[in-house]
Amino acid sequence: YFRLAERFYRAIFEEAKGLFHKDGGPIIGIQIENEYGHCGGLLGDDGVLHMRTLTRIARDIGFDVPYFTATGWGGAITAGLLPVMGGYCEAPWDPRITPIEPSGNYIFTHERNDHSIGSDYGINETLSFDPSKFPYLTAELGGGLQVTHRRRPIATGRDIGAMSLVKIGSGANLLGYYMYSGGTNPKGKRTTLQESRSSGDINDLPVMSYDFRAPIREYGQLGDTYREIKLLSMFLRDFGSDLCEMDTYIPVENPLLPENSRDLRTSVRRTGNRGYIFVNNYQRKQTQSDHWREVLRIPLESGEISYPPIDITNGEYFFFPFNMEIGNARIMTATASPLCILNRNTYVFYSDNDPTYDLEGTLDSARILSITREQALNAYKVSGNRDHLVITDGSLWMENDDLVIEAEGSTTMLVYPSFNNTPRGFADAGACGTFRIYERFNVDPESTVSAREVSRDSSHARYKIHAEINTAASEYLLRVRYQGDAARLFVGGEPVGDEFNTGEPWEIGLARFGMPEEVEIEILPLFDEDEIFLEKPAKFINGVACNLESVDIEARYQTRIRIQ
């Protein structure tokens, strides 16, 4: 076994070398095994020896990173490695076909163990390590949910955003997600490679798709979840070192059970007299009480801090700073959340309401920039010779020294501070407050798509999809709405994609397949007696659901900007 493991590790190393933190790359940690001792494997001293042997093999091969970790929940064997925790907003592996109890991951707690992870293999409520001796790190916060054939919950951006905020408020100093990017299973040499009951697993998953409704979806789309957790990632990037030194204080009157929809959930992280108060009034699939004119209070050794009265309605979650140093001033309280710091002197905050800042001292060269939460969801910090905050509805990322924006049709950017020069292909459209507006208009013809049924019997319905493709676009997204159990995508007669129906549109990126103008969709029937949990009920005709409802197409265009 260890010879095969070493062979596997060496193959991974060949893919990863040059990308480690010591090389200036992004890889900061290596996890040894997954749920070993919780969902199988040796126990006790034998399990510890097994994990230590794998760690030695990895180090000998050349894996050299700051952190070596192991699954922490469910009694898994950690063997002295850094334990990493997890948490999901629901449990698609649960065998029940009814709504399940509310998730405890929306409750502020010092309890790190999520008892539902791997519950299809068994529940272990113990930990194999002392939490007081290890930092609180996560590696398997559900960035979404991979639906199973039997159970198909839909994870939303707010589901994941609220859960992530609660984990930080509960003391977590590292947010790690599974999955962060959805994917597609490769074709096996002898069998398909998905999890399936026929191969001894407990659940059936799609043969090809592992979209997971992850922050980055199967075809590279940036979803709502990406934008939600980006708020926290940007905050942790600029304020995280300070946050890591802060202890966690959870009020004794806080609700202990997620079923409690009445009481407000709060937590404080602080060092000395400065820190943050975290507030969660969100519970997945549950309506929380509104709290009108709520006064948030923080007891400190030097006295109590209180915020101005605010309204906290169902579904809200946020965090506010107190005694935050900024320039030569101190923000005693602010009813806005910090997002990032630009050029070491501009502190960006966001809020759904008109924020208040109780300042003591003078800002001098520092300044506060306030934006809305909606703007923050679409905001990106980019750096050239100086930092810029770019707000755009499109998807944005840095690629080498280029800023890449992918958007549908025309592109609008709000930029602060303004670029030295108007980007090529854009027009300067004036100012919006402190932001400069840059616009780029797309004059390409609108894309069209049509569908026709080509075959149908009791086992399937098949449709031919024809799209008008414009080669100037970088991507075409098909959005397929249908009723049925599952669907499969064919290009040139070959099966290349699939999904289990959730009631949400199936998004398919055509660029991966060479921008074909014609594809086929096969829908498999769902019957009203099938034992399947659907959050969005299906529409049956004579006890059967098996039809295409609509197909839309969206052209996506990429723009590259060199940041000076």
Q: Compute the C-alpha angle 445/446/449, nearest 5°.
A: 130
Residue 137 pLDDT > 80: yes
pLDDT of 140 above 90 = yes
Q: Which two tokens stand for residue 122?
A: 């068994």
- Single out the residue of 459, 318, 475 nearest to residue 405, CA to CA: 475
Task: Summarize the confidence of residues 224-243 as an average pLDDT.
Answer: 98
Cβ(463)–Cβ(451) below 8 Å? yes
Give pLDDT tens digits for 3-52. Answer: 999 999 999 999 999 999 999 999 999 999 999 998 889 999 999 999 99
Q: What is the pLDDT of residue 127?
A: 82
Residue with tokens 């600029």: 238
pLDDT computed for residue 447 by the predictor: 86
User: Mind listing the pLDDT tens digit for each residue in 53-81?
Assistant: 999 999 999 999 999 999 999 889 999 99
Residue 356 lies in a domain: no
Looking at residue 141, what is its pLDDT? 97
Is the separation of the CB atoms in 521 and 497 below 8 Å?
no
Round the average pLDDT of the chain to a whole number and report it: 95
Q: The pTM is what?
A: 0.96
* Alpha-carbon gap, residue 211 to 179, rounded angstroms: 9
Q: CB neighbours (10 Å) of residue 120?
A: 17
| pLDDT category of residue 144 using cuts at 50, 70 and 90 | very high
Whether 402 maps to a domain, the answer reads no
Cβ count within 10 A of residue 464: 15
Q: How many domains does the chain have?
A: 2
Choose the final residue of a domain: 39, 65, 91: 65
Q: Minimum mean pLDDT among 80-94, 285-299, 362-376, 464-478: which range?
A: 464-478
Give the DSSP H or E segment for 169. helix 157-169
* Domain assignment of residue 499, yes or no: yes
Q: Of 65, 96, 114, at which residue does a domain stop?
A: 65
Q: pLDDT over 90 for what percent of the chain?
A: 90
35 assigned to some structural domain: yes
**pLDDT tops 60 at residue 241:** yes
User: Is residue 459 in a domain?
Assistant: yes
Is position 296 within any domain?
no
SS3 464: strand
Of 31, 3, 16, 26, nearest to 62 by C-alpha is 16
Q: Pick from 144, 139, 151, 149: which is nearest to 195 by CA?
A: 149
Q: Out of 326-335, 467-476, 494-503, 528-537, which region has the weakest mean confidence (pLDDT)?
A: 467-476
**Where residue 531 sits, what CATH number does that domain have?**
2.60.120.260
Whether 170 is in a domain gets the answer no
Q: 367 by DSSP, 3-state: which? A: strand
Average pLDDT over residues 400-409: 90
* Max CA separation in the chain (angstroms): 76
| pLDDT tens-digit series, residues 268-277 | 999 999 999 9
Say whether pLDDT at 121 is over 60.
no
Last residue of a domain, one of 36, 65, 94: 65
What domain range is 36 assigned to?
Answer: 1-65
**If we measure between CA atoms, which residue out of 79, 103, 217 comes closest to residue 505?**
217
pLDDT recorded at residue 122: 54
Write out pLDDT tens, residues 274-298. Answer: 999 999 999 999 999 999 999 999 9
Q: Residue 131 domain-assigned?
A: no
